[in-house]
Amino acid sequence: MTKEFRFGTYNLLNLGLPRSAQEKERYGYLVETVTEAFRNRQGALAVQEITGDSRADASRVLRMLADDTGLVAQASRPQGRRIVPALASQHPGTCDSVRFHVALLWTPDVEAVPNSLRRYDGGVDFWHGMVTVTLDAGGPTPTKWGAYHANPFSPTRRVEEARRVLSAFQGEDDQGAIGADWNSLDASRRADGSYYDADRYAGQQHRKLRYQVDFDPARPDAPPVANRDAAVFLSQEPGGLHDPAPLLDVAWEPSCGHWLDGQGRPDAFGPRRIDTTRATLRLARTAYAHTTHHGPKAKAASDHLLVTTDYDLDRMPAGPAQPGSPPAS
């Protein structure tokens, strides 16, 4: 018998309350994609880019999404009894208003552990934000799940944010995973030593490239290479977080790059894989499937695709984590 638990991550592309016919159609595709992925399954979903000029505005969008997908996004506030959404907000100093928010949703058959909700709003530690909730899914022990959205503009800041992300999973009993738009490539390697995520930026020349690559100051004419510093830091043991796609050696698939902007221009970065879940070592070893959800409606719903990982919670031993080597990749 297995305790199957599906965990996903989905960048919703500036999702506010839909008003125009086009917005309502796209929202319908989002709902359909999520509903189909979690149909008859137990699990949780990390989302990014819920938009709103305040936390209250974003909370209304989150409640709408939860109601329409049949998921839950309410947890008890730390050190209190008030029920609040599992949502964290971008700091108002980073834009004209509190525009972007991240959130966590879960299926109704999962219970949020009281007082486990932690909201890490943007500001000192994050450009966007992070939220975590400990969930009791009926496995050997409750597990912690989170949503995060990495800094899109600075490789250096992404490393600093990675330090804060890891801090949420450093308790002796902390086992779980976080879903995110990492805004950079992973650093896992295949058995032959090559990167699971090849350098997607080779040969590219555009303004946004500087946010994803390293330039060699000693050789200004040398081609830039993808910056993977945050991923390297995140995966270090003890206490690392691991990407299940290379661990399971599933076929490489992009999570974005299919979208055309309002002027019909393609994504300057092209197809790349920057959306995934990352799990603590013991949980990562229970992963048995990793899926990028395709289809015409999924590709019309957002500039990112829904990505899910399936875990067998019964395979994760209870008790404090023991030191060990990272999963082979």
CA distance 223 to 245: 28
**Where residue 75 falls among pLDDT bands split at 50, 70, 90?**
confident
- Residue 68 token pair: 């329409």
The yes-or-no verdict on residue 322 having pLDDT over 60 is no
Domain ranges of the chain: 4-315
pTM: predicted TM-score of the whole model, two decimal places: 0.93
The yes-or-no verdict on residue 82 having pLDDT over 80 is no
- Residue 173: per-residue pLDDT: 80
Alpha-carbon separation of residue 54 from 63, 97, 169 (angstroms) = 14, 7, 28
Q: Helix %, strand %, coil % for the chain, to 5?
A: 25, 30, 45
Query: In sequence order, what DSSP letters do the residues of 131-182 get, joined into one string?
Result: EEEEEE-SSSS-EEEEEEE--SS-HHHHHHHHHHHHHTT-STT--EEEEEE-
- Residue 234: per-residue pLDDT: 98
219 φ/ψ angles, rounded to the nearest 5 degrees:
-135, 75
Rg of the chain (C-alpha set): 19
In a 3-state reduction of DSSP, which class is residue 312?
strand
Q: Identify the residue whose tokens are 């404090």.
A: 320
Are 10 and 307 in contact by the 8 Å Cβ rule? The answer is yes
- Residue 329: per-residue pLDDT: 36
Distance spanning both ends of the chain, measured CA to CA: 27
CA distance 13 to 32: 15
**Where residue 95 falls among pLDDT bands split at 50, 70, 90?**
low
Give the least confident one: 56-60, 73-77, 109-113, 168-172: 73-77
* Nearest of 250, 314, 308 to residue 282 by alpha carbon: 314
Mean pLDDT of the chain: 92
For the stretch 172-201, pLDDT in tens is 788 999 999 999 999 999 999 999 999 999
**Where residue 1 falls among pLDDT bands split at 50, 70, 90?**
low
Are 155 and 230 in contact by the 8 Å Cβ rule? The answer is yes
What average pLDDT does the segment 302-328 reach?
A: 75
**Where residue 76 falls among pLDDT bands split at 50, 70, 90?**
low
Give the least confident one: 14-23, 31-40, 309-318: 309-318
- Residue 277 token pair: 């879940």
**Where residue 91 falls among pLDDT bands split at 50, 70, 90?**
confident
- Residue 92: per-residue pLDDT: 77
Residue length of the chain: 329
Q: What is the CATH number of domain 4-315?
A: 3.60.10.10
For the stretch 230-286, pLDDT in tens is 999 999 999 999 999 999 999 999 999 999 988 899 999 999 999 999 999 999 999
- Residue 270 token pair: 């092209």
